Structure 1
Amino acid sequence: MPGRLWLICLALLLAFALRPAHAGVANAPGANLEVSLVTYGPGETYWERFGHDAIEVRDTVSGEAFNFNYGVFDFDERGFLLNFARGRMHYLMDAGPTTLDENWYIQAGRSVTRQRLDLAPEQAAALRDFLLWNLRPENARYDYDYYVDNCTTRVRDALDRALGGVLKAQLTARPGGMTYRQQTNRLMSAQPWLMLLLDLGLGPYADQPLNAWQESFLPAVLSRELATAQVDGPQGMHPLVADADLVSPNRLETPPTTPPDLRLPLALAGLGLAVLLVLARRFWPTGFTLLGTLYLVLAAVAGTGLLVLWSLTTHHAAWANANLLPFNPLALALLPSTWRARRGLPASRLADIVLLIQLVALLAAVLLHLLPDTVQQNQPWLLFAMPVWLAMAMALRSNRADTTKG
């Protein structure tokens, strides 16, 4: 990827330097430039589920057209995986001939939509100059953030810069349709396990109300909002989008329009696991030990992961996650008593204390939703965890009751 970036940048800068000999995107006057937002539909791979977009700049005289986008990342970058885990992802701006980019998405079955923007010549020229400056190797790299600084927010910001802030002013005044969590769950619903992991890991930041400017971190939302944006011109206010063209229809499964409601599925899963634990404790002690061990290990691993995301990374969307109350590393302290139950032995005093702490933490997580300032929408995970922890407490305490009775 970096090699391609250098070549494209060199070609564009060379074209700019040789403008008397070659007219094209790099040196065409603003009156000859046509600017469009090109939006690509979601793909099948998990990192493609949010879609993609680019700014197309076309010289109407020569016919030369380039797509500028901010969605390039390099797996071979030194420390990429470690930076990814720490929340310090480096992305790059890239550019390529429009036909090459669009043909790739068309072959992949993803929709391609072009919205031609009604920009004044000076606005089109200023945008082109900014994109060429941004394409330089020393300017192309940026620190990626899923929600506030990604490939679409960069496109949005570049357009707003050319429009003198008009776009931000209008979109900030409009309410958004969904939260970060809802949009994430909606678009990731085709991969349920990944969707559940992301939902578990998102903290209250993901549930804050959004305006249209913030929600335009998604290509489809930005495209939708631009379609209703108005800009001022010699003839007064007029639509920003002059016309729109569906270059290629979507041939892949379309994401749902609304996010799935996880409350009932997770509540039923938690209730089912709780019933299995209670029945296994009575009729199959070894099964109870195995099921209990599996749940406790998963709860501890999940809690450790949430704690690491909060304290050791810059994934601010995962900070202050209330799911640490039902899922935390303290669950590991119950493992010995779970195995003692296989032989009908009572839980230890330490296990009694841990169980009490866990039930109090669970109650606190529920009571948080009664506070007026509570933002995080983690009800599905509370509905899953409550019956399971109650079943664990009943099962482990029943061993003590049986021993006392004997």
Structure 2
Amino acid sequence: MTLASRLLLTFALILCSACITARADVGDAPGANLEVSLITYGPGEIYWERFGHDAIELRDTVSGEEVDFNYGVFSFEEKNFFLNFARGRMHYLIDAEPTTDEENFYKEAGRSVTRQRINLTPAQAAALRDFLFWNLRPENAGYNYDYYIDNCTTRVRDALDRALGGIIKTRLTSLPGSMTYRQQTVRLMSAQPWLMLILDLGLGPYADHPLNAWQESFLPEELQKSLRNVTIADGRGGTQPLVQSEDLLSPNRLSVPPAAAPDLRIPLGIAGLLIAGILLLAWRRATLIYAVLGNLFLLLAGLAGVLMLLLWTLTEHHSAWANANLLLFNPLAFIWLRPLWRARRGMQLSPYANGALVLQLVALLIALLLHLLPGTVQQNQPWILFALPCWLALAWTLRHNRHT
């Protein structure tokens, strides 16, 4: 082979290699060509969007390909979806989409989009990429979703922490959280007051334990803030921020959740006093209104109690287990539906109904003592303030009828 032929062959090989490199994508790019970012999407308007969302973005700096990996995919078409949802057995999936398509969806919805460049070594970036692609395999893609400890954000957090050898968890577990699960839930759901109240009523003591920053990073917004406090070795004996840069790609155009959870004690306390006052006034002046309003309260209290019992005994919603609100609202309420209706005519309580009423008053006393004693975990003061005057008003009117 002549020198000219060799030079021509060498040039062709170099050109071919350059073309292959230019066509390389995120899946086979070397770690030195990968940029890793955390993409955080602000809360949306629909109730299941109120917690926000996030994804890991991988970008090949040579080909320019950008892919978002997110763990928030579910399908209403799944067999027994609503039954599984009720039982606390929700199945979610990881998915990968081109960054442009993913981000445009959130921008058009008016939700904020923020990119945080994560400072990873080439080896760490490649390891993260390999893990995400392994996770995309059909046999690995699904997981059992939990709102607080295993959701689309904790999966993103754990994947980043895994690539960094546990640095994120070590740092964040040493920092206190700002709120409890209950406070964060009430804060974010305050735009839908009816749903906020249902969730607050249904949460048990699990939701009131103090959190550290690692646990509180179940929320995209909290993970975004927490990563700003993480530092890593710079390779020269010092440290550097984990977050290289942070850019707001699209501003929020929706209503912003409040910075703190609303205090439900005053509104629920006033509502309880108002219902109790109407019951007492109607008992004297409009017995039909008294019976209708009283039975409505008893019906809702009984249904709430049944639901809380089912959540505790038949589901995997552990955040709803051992709910002290069962002392305030429980199936015993159904016992007085007929006696209360008859009480509008001054008819006596049966010994059975009277005994059940005494039992309910004892349950109210226990609920109050549990809250006043030191070491109490569940923060259900708003519901105590609501239920106490209602039950006392009903008990007084029913007991009065018994002695007439």
TM-score (norm 2): 0.94
What does residue 72 of structure 2 align with? 71
Q: Deviations over 1:295-323 (max 9, x none)?
A: 00100000000000000000000000000
What does residue 97 of structure 1 align with? 98
What does residue 231 of structure 2 align with? 230
Matched to 1:124, the amino acid is A
Q: CA deviation at 1:342?
A: 2.3
Q: How many angstroms apart in 1 are the aligned matches of 2:337 and 2:372?
A: 33
What does residue 374 of structure 1 align with? 376
Matched to 2:105, the amino acid is W
What does residue 15 of structure 1 align with? none
Q: How many angstroms apart in 1 are the aligned matches of 2:250 and 2:132?
A: 26
Q: How many angstroms apart in 2 are the aligned matches of 1:362 and 1:117?
A: 52
What does residue 107 of structure 2 align with? 106
Q: How many angstroms apart in 2 are the aligned matches of 1:245 and 1:172?
A: 26
Q: Deviations over 1:327-364 (max 9, x none)?
A: 00001111121111122212222221111100110000
What does residue 327 of structure 2 align with? 325
What does residue 5 of structure 2 align with? none
What does residue 179 of structure 1 align with? 180
Contact 2:23 2:63 in 1 (8 A): no
Bigger radius of gyration: 2
**1:304 alignment partner, one of 303, 306, 309:** 306
Work out the number of aligned pairs and report it: 385
What does residue 401 of structure 1 align with? 403
Matched to 2:379, the amino acid is Q
Contact 2:22 2:62 in 1 (8 A): no
What does residue 201 of structure 2 align with? 200
Q: How many angstroms apart in 2 are the aligned matches of 1:138 and 1:30?
A: 25
What does residue 349 of structure 2 align with? 347
Matched to 2:328, the amino acid is P
Q: CA deviation at 1:217?
A: 0.1
What does residue 284 of structure 1 align with? 286
Q: How many angstroms apart in 2 are the aligned matches of 1:122 and 1:232?
A: 15
Q: How many angstroms apart in 2 are the aligned matches of 1:195 and 1:55?
A: 30
Q: How many angstroms apart in 1 are the aligned matches of 2:361 and 2:347?
A: 22
Matched to 1:87, the amino acid is G
Percent identity at matched positions? Answer: 67
Secondary structure in structure 2 of the residue aligned to 1:42: coil
Residues 346-365 of structure 1 correspond to what in structure 2 (within 5 A)? 346-365=348-367
Q: CA deviation at 1:107?
A: 0.1
Residues 4-403 of structure 1 correspond to what in structure 2 (within 5 A)? 22-235=23-236, 236-402=238-404
Q: CA deviation at 1:261?
A: 0.2
Matched to 2:325, the amino acid is N
Q: CA RMSD in A?
A: 1.2
Q: Deviations over 1:208-251 (max 9, x none)?
A: 00000000000000000011210113132110000010000000
Secondary structure in structure 2 of the residue aligned to 1:54: strand
Q: How many angstroms apart in 2 are the aligned matches of 1:264 and 1:376?
A: 18
Q: How many angstroms apart in 1 are the aligned matches of 2:44 and 2:136?
A: 25
Q: How many angstroms apart in 1 are the aligned matches of 2:158 and 2:33?
A: 23
What does residue 6 of structure 1 align with? none
Q: How many angstroms apart in 2 are the aligned matches of 1:231 and 1:162?
A: 13
Q: CA deviation at 1:20?
A: 7.4
Write out the 4+ residue segments of structure 1 that deviate beyond 2 Å after TM superposition: 19-22, 370-373
Q: How many angstroms apart in 2 are the aligned matches of 1:316 and 1:160?
A: 26
